[in-house]
Amino acid sequence: MTSSLSAQWDAAREIRSILLRFVAFAILLANLLLGGNEGAERTHFIVVICYFIISVASVATARYLPSLSWLKTLFVVLDALLVALILYAHILGGPVTENHNLTTTSLVVAFILLNHVGLKQDRRLVLVFSGIVLVSWVAMLAVTAARHHTADAMSLLAAFFNQDLGLTVSFGFTAFAIYLLARDHDRTRKEALRADKHRLNLSRFFSPLVVADLQEGSSNLDLERRNAAIMFVDLRDFTSFAETAPARELALVLAEYRHLVSGMIFQHGGTVDKFIGDGVMAVFGQPSPSEDDADRALACALDLVDALNDWKNHSMRNGSPALKAGIGLHYGTVVGGVLDSGCHSELTVIGDAVNVAQRLETLAKSLDALLVVSNALMARLLCPVPSALWIPQNSVPLPGRRFPIDVWYLRREAGLDPAEDSSGYETGVMQTALQRSSFQSSPPGPSVCTG
């Protein structure tokens, strides 16, 4: 995928090049009208007309044939040949006995067009243009020296190394400086595009604030203990669906699901820690913990309940697989940061809180629940617990864990045909998480929102 930054730069550079072409044409025309081109007026007139035609062709190419990059090189070669034509008119076009003076204002054309090529910021084009002009210029000076001084070698060298050659050297030095600038710009551009590509890759997993920390190498990335909310989302019966589904359909369903879940996580300031097949692990509070991590995590989970339910119903109406999802949410202490594993480093969290969140997501399946939230997360809320038909359950054992925990969960709808109405939970009253009623009982938490 082409970086948007690269496309913007290319478009801006092309527009600038087109504008500068006509500025250069105006200077050439003014130079012709002001005179000072004795003996070369005809040549200068031809150059102005040809340059105008080349400029129009360049604009048309940029508009209708932008992909043909070789045409840009062709136009630069034609510009260089026009400069060579002017040099010929002043150096070799006159009588043999004429005193050639290359400091005439007409020769400023070579520098004008060199600057125009330089502003394309392409060092290859600078080399092409300056190479043609310099070779032509030096060759003409050598021919002139041979025509005027043929007595001996010393006389020939003295005739060659004169004021005219000094102007050639000045042109060469200017071309070299412009080449260096173009090279530095090219390096800067590549680094910026690499950083932009890296940012785009990071933005697939992290919220903009986290991406900023990652790019700046913030100390928040150091591996350390911190509190965070961990969320696991998983599709039900996805494995059996994947065994029979066509590859294209499987990829489409998985892409839609991941896009929906990750977008909701980013919207609530969370981080996608990893995708595990049809599972998604998200963290709220990594790499920068906040006081409202638990609130944002729970709000995200409840919104995901609605979004995934809508996605399932939409898929069913369109004849696509309608997959249910389960969510587990827990708050606790984790070890988070960049984990260096030699050839591959990743920003992740590890610890018991991660295991508990994953087991809560598994528990959701056995409870036939949409969402299972630990009491530890409910206790960390700054705002009142969002209204929903919560069902409390105490002392729930979790596999691999010595002590049971208290949880709150939302049951799936019971006795309803999802194709007719899948908007409620098991209550006898149809409602969604966005139409949450007062709860059956309130989990522990502050009664006044403080953040």
Residue predicted with more confidence, 152 or 115: 115
The whole-number pLDDT of residue 344 equals 58
Nearest to 203 by CA among 195, 53, 32: 195
What are 299's two structure tokens? Answer: 């709000």
- Express each pLDDT in 96-144 by its tens digit: 544 555 545 556 778 888 888 887 778 888 999 999 999 988 888 788 7
Q: How far apart are CA 428 and CA 419, in angstroms?
A: 18
> Is pLDDT at 157 greater than 80 in this prediction?
no
Q: Check: CB of residue 92 under 8 Å from CB of residue 136.
A: no
How far the first Cα of the chain sits from its last, in Å, is 40
Residue predicted with more confidence, 71 or 448: 71
Q: Check: CB of residue 363 under 8 Å from CB of residue 396.
A: yes
Which SS3 state, helix, strand or coil, does residue 145 take? helix
CATH class of this structure's domain 207-435: alpha beta
The whole-number pLDDT of residue 425 equals 32
Q: Check: CB of residue 79 under 8 Å from CB of residue 113.
A: yes
CA distances to 89, 287, 377, 405 from 382, in Å: 84, 20, 11, 21
* Dihedral (CA of 4, 5, 7, 12) sign: positive
Worst-scoring range by mean pLDDT, 76-90, 174-188, 339-353? 339-353
Q: How far apart are CA 426 and CA 417, in angstroms?
A: 13
Q: Check: CB of residue 330 under 8 Å from CB of residue 230.
A: yes
> Is pLDDT at 445 greater than 60 in this prediction?
no
Worst-scoring range by mean pLDDT, 16-30, 134-148, 248-262? 16-30
State the average pLDDT over residues 58-69.
Answer: 77
The whole-number pLDDT of residue 91 equals 75
* Mean pLDDT score of the chain: 77
> Is pLDDT at 297 greater than 80 in this prediction?
yes
- Express each pLDDT in 364-414 by its tens digit: 998 989 999 999 999 999 999 888 889 999 999 998 888 899 999 998 763
Please write down the long-range contacts of 309-317, taking CB distance under 8 Å and 24 or more positions apart. 309/370, 309/422, 309/423, 309/432, 311/256, 311/257, 311/260, 312/418, 312/422, 313/418, 313/419, 313/422, 315/253, 316/418, 316/419, 317/419
Residue predicted with more confidence, 346 or 109: 109
Nearest to 374 by CA among 438, 435, 425, 443: 443
pLDDT confidence band for 85 (50 / 70 / 90): confident
The whole-number pLDDT of residue 402 equals 84
Nearest to 277 by CA among 314, 248, 234, 243: 234
- Give me Rg for the CA atoms of the chain: 36
Q: Which amino acid is at 351?
A: G
| Domain spans of the chain, in order of start | 4-201, 207-435
- Express each pLDDT in 167-189 by its tens digit: 888 888 989 998 998 888 888 87
Note the pTM of the prediction, 2 decimals.
Answer: 0.54
State the average pLDDT over residues 329-356.
Answer: 81
Residue predicted with more confidence, 92 or 178: 178
> Is pLDDT at 202 greater than 60 in this prediction?
no
